[in-house]
């Protein structure tokens, strides 16, 4: 009986033990499940916090900082560090985004990590970059591929893990974390970190898109140089610094390509674009080399090259000590055009006109500086190709004067303020016999009185207004000469000599316009002489010859004006059908006491006689000049000896008494 009771009791005790063990196992399983569920929930909350923080910022560094801090605090990592992949995608480098639970204790490792750079495959971040997957190290002090091992050991660091920040299939960054204890690899932890890496990758993707938009908004699409918007931002910042501190200097340079339109017109816009890209690359390289050379000599000026439109570039130069540095930079820019560009299989030599304006306290803003640099550039362009001009107050005064004259010229055209005066041309064999008149324009200015051509013709030519003025001169001179012929009953028909401007002569419709004026005025074509300067005549000799032949076919005569002052060429002269040749007044004035000048005049006369051309000597003022020219065989003369240019009434009176 006793044995049976003991047996039942032992069996009950065993059952209790089994039940207790089962209950404890169940409780352990439940506790482990709850713990895993809690950890999973906490990691999901961590992911949610990082995602929310990343979505609230547009800056990648801010999103990385949120992630590093949250992960370290939530998972008890002693140190976390963010690294970004470089432009070449073969290196990853610290971006100074880090967190340390105890910065003082971890100082050596922090300093070795926050700007550290790793090649692919080297160190923990390099392995993540190379393998495109997370990596876990149980103990960094025993890892043979860990360059920061000594600092890690000094700071008591042990376990480490790192995971990639992904943009699509590309590693854009790496986050690494370190603990002061040994931690076995945790697949769940690596999984959640992979999700964090994906979320951060989206921030990087957004940041890249934002930066690309900002870059495109501030850079020229063709040359990739800064555009006007970025140039003005930098120039205005430099201007503020100069205004606040008079020791700070700045200058702006305007660069305008010479002859770019001709490239576009002859080779096409594709070639023009290629030229702009080539020129931009050359200037950028030259300026960078000049900056580097200046730094080597102790200077610290900076330059920003920008394409601001068409074939125009601006350069901002600031922080220079010597103004000569800016002019040397302009010379450097000129030199970068020395070698030709090859476009569409052709070598094109390009040059540039450069204007410079130095900043000073008198300027109110950058726009005023650019305006003055622009004025200097146009002044350089007027001097010929490949020139530089620095703006001065004297230049500003001259430009303002010319601008005012141009404005007044436009009004003069609209209000018909011009008049023609007529200077007689006589036969040297009979100086009292007037052969013709040269029509000379005068401007009857409402405030300044009667102005000679020297005071406004140059401005009219540069502004293009000469086309309107030249057309009026042609019409008025032909109409007046026709009226003289009618008043004299057609018995006396002196010719009328009319100056044709270069721009006017080269207009495609010039020949048709001359014909229309002849028809409208009713003038006898044989009494009209059109004067063209030597420079225009030889600019395109073939085209000039075609134009002259068409005009001469109607009976109109042609004269080569100012012969000997330009690029005289016998070959050109032989091919051009001129009826008359005018010897410039400078040769006539120099004949007094100069056998050399007389020899030149005689050579011109002999040449003209050989070619069957009439010769008119300009600027005759004395009886001695008249007699000498007559003996040398000159046909006609013009100058103060025979009368100044006078009104049409006085000219008609002279015709009537001849």
Nearest Cα to 171, choosing from 194, 147, 141?
194
Per residue in 55-85, pLDDT (tens digit) is 777 788 888 998 899 889 888 899 999 999 9
Nearby residues of 164 by Cβ (< 8 Å), 6 or more positions away? 128, 129, 132, 133, 134, 171, 172, 173, 174, 197
The pLDDT value recorded for residue 228 is 95
pLDDT category at 592 given cuts 50, 70, 90 is: confident
Instruction: Please check the confidence at residue 577 and state whether its pLDDT lies above 90.
Output: no
The pLDDT value recorded for residue 195 is 82
Instruction: Please check the confidence at residue 291 and state whether its pLDDT lies above 80.
Output: yes
**Which of residues 74 and 496 earns the better pLDDT score?**
496
**Which of residues 621 and 533 earns the better pLDDT score?**
621
Percent pLDDT > 90 in the chain is 57
pLDDT category at 536 given cuts 50, 70, 90 is: confident
CB 139 within 8 Å of CB 185: no
The pLDDT value recorded for residue 491 is 64
Instruction: Please check the confidence at residue 421 and state whether its pLDDT lies above 90.
Output: yes
Q: Compute the mean pLDDT over every residue in the chain, rounded to the nearest whole number.
A: 88
In the DSSP assignment, the letter for residue 226 is: B
The pLDDT value recorded for residue 371 is 94
Specify burial of residue 616 (Cβ count, 10 A radius: 0-12, 13-18, 19+). buried
Q: Considering the entire predicted model, what is its pTM? A: 0.62
CB 409 within 8 Å of CB 463: yes
Per residue in 243-283, pLDDT (tens digit) is 998 888 999 999 999 888 878 777 788 888 999 999 999 99
pLDDT category at 569 given cuts 50, 70, 90 is: low
CB 164 within 8 Å of CB 174: yes
For each of the domains in the chain, give its residue range(s) and CATH number, in order of start. 55-217 (3.30.450.40), 228-391 (3.30.70.270), 416-657 (3.20.20.450)
Among the residue ranges 1-10, 345-354, 521-530, the one predicted with the least confidence is: 1-10
Secondary structure (DSSP) of 470-497: HHHHHHHHHHHHHHHHHHTTTS---EEE
Per residue in 112-141, pLDDT (tens digit) is 999 999 999 999 999 999 999 999 998 998
Instruction: Please check the confidence at residue 2 and state whether its pLDDT lies above 70.
Output: no
Distance (Å, rounded) from C-alpha 282 to C-alpha 337?
8
The pLDDT value recorded for residue 170 is 92
Q: What are the backbone angles phi and psi of residue 432, rounded to the nearest 5°?
A: -85, -5
Per residue in 30-60, pLDDT (tens digit) is 556 555 555 566 666 767 787 777 777 778 8
The pLDDT value recorded for residue 202 is 86
Specify burial of residue 564 (Cβ count, 10 A radius: 0-12, 13-18, 19+). middle
**Which of residues 16 and 27 earns the better pLDDT score?**
16
Per residue in 298-353, pLDDT (tens digit) is 888 899 999 999 899 999 999 898 899 999 999 999 999 888 888 777 788 888 99
Among the residue ranges 185-199, 227-241, 307-321, 604-618, the one predicted with the least confidence is: 185-199
CB 301 within 8 Å of CB 317: yes
Specify burial of residue 87 (Cβ count, 10 A radius: 0-12, 13-18, 19+). exposed
**Which of residues 511 and 45 earns the better pLDDT score?**
511
The pLDDT value recorded for residue 563 is 76
pLDDT category at 297 given cuts 50, 70, 90 is: confident
**Which of residues 608 and 575 earns the better pLDDT score?**
608
Chain centre to alpha carbon of residue 548: 41
Percent pLDDT > 70 in the chain is 93
Per residue in 174-192, pLDDT (tens digit) is 999 999 998 888 777 788 8
What Cα–Cα distance (Å) separates residue 498 from each residue in 153, 434, 435, 436? 98, 16, 14, 11
Mean pLDDT value across residues 557-574: 71
The pLDDT value recorded for residue 1 is 55
The pLDDT value recorded for residue 44 is 66
């Amino acid at each position: 009986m006793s044995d049976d009771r003991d047996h039942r009791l032992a069996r009950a005790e065993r059952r209790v033990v089994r039940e207790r063990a089962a209950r404890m196992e169940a409780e352990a399983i439940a506790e482990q499940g709850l713990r895993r569920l809690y950890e999973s929930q906490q990691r999901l909350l961590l992911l949610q916090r990082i995602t929310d923080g990343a979505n609230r910022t547009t800056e990648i560094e801010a999103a990385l900082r949120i992630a590093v801090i949250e992960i370290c605090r939530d998972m008890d990592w002693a140190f976390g560090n963010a690294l970004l992949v470089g432009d070449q995608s073969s290196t990853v480098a610290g971006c100074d985004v880090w967190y340390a639970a105890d910065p003082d204790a971890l100082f050596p490792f922090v300093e070795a990590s926050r700007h550290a750079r790793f090649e692919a495959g080297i160190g923990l971040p390099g392995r993540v970059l190379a393998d495109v997957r997370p990596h876990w190290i149980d103990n960094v002090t025993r890892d043979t591929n860990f360059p920061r091992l000594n600092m890690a050991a000094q700071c008591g660091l042990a376990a480490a893990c790192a995971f990639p920040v992904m943009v699509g299939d590309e590693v854009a960054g790496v986050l690494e974390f370190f603990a002061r204890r040994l931690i076995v690899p945790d697949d769940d932890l690596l999984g959640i970190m992979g999700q964090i890496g994906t979320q951060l990758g989206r921030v990087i993707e957004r940041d890249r898109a934002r930066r690309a938009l900002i870059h495109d908004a501030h850079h020229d699409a063709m040359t990739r140089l800064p555009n006007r918007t970025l140039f003005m931002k930098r120039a205005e910042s430099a201007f503020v610094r100069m205004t606040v501190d008079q020791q700070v200097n700045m200058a702006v340079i305007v660069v305008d390509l010479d002859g770019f339109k001709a490239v576009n017109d002859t080779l096409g816009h594709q070639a023009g674009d290629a030229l702009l890209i080539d020129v931009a690359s050359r200037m950028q390289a030259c300026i960078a080399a000049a900056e580097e050379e200046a730094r080597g000599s102790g200077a610290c000026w900076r330059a920003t090259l920008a394409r601001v439109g068409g074939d125009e570039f601006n350069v901002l130069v600031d922080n220079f000590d010597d103004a000569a540095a800016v002019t040397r930079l302009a010379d450097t820019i000129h030199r970068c055009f020395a070698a030709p560009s090859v476009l569409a299989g052709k070598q094109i030599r390009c040059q540039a006109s450069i204007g410079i304006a130095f900043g000073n306290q008198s300027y109110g803003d950058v726009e005023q500086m650019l305006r003055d640099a622009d004025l200097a550039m146009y002044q350089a362009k007027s001097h010929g190709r490949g020139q530089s001009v620095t703006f001065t107050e004297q230049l500003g005064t001259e430009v303002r004067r010319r601008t005012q004259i141009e404005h007044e010229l436009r009004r003069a055209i609209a209000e018909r303020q011009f008049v023609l005066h007529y200077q007689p041309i006589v036969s040297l064999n009979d100086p009292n016999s007037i052969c013709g008149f040269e029509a000379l324009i005068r401007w009857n200015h409402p405030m300044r009185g009667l102005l000679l051509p020297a005071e406004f013709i140059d401005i009219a030519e540069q502004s293009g207004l000469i086309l309107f003025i030249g057309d009026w001169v042609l019409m008025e001179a032909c109409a007046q000469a026709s009226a003289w012929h009618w008043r004299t009953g057609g018995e006396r028909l002196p010719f009328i000599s009319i100056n044709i401007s270069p721009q006017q002569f080269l207009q495609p419709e010039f020949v048709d316009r001359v014909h229309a004026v002849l028809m409208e005025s009713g003038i006898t074509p044989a009494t009209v002489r059109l004067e063209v300067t030597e420079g225009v005549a030889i600019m395109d000799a073939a085209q000039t010859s075609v134009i002259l032949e068409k005009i001469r076919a109607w009976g109109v005569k042609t004269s080569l004006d100012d012969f000997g002052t330009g690029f005289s060429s016998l070959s050109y002269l032989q091919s051009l059908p001129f009826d008359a040749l005018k010897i410039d007044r400078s040769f006539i004035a120099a004949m007094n006491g100069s056998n050399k000048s007389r020899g030149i005049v005689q050579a011109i006369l002999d040449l003209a006689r050989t070619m069957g051309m009439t010769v008119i000597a300009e600027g005759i003022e004395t009886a001695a000049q008249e007699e000498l020219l007559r003996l040398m065989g000159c046909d006609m003369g013009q100058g103060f000896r025979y009368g100044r240019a006078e009104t049409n009434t006085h000219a008609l009176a002279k015709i009537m008494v001849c």
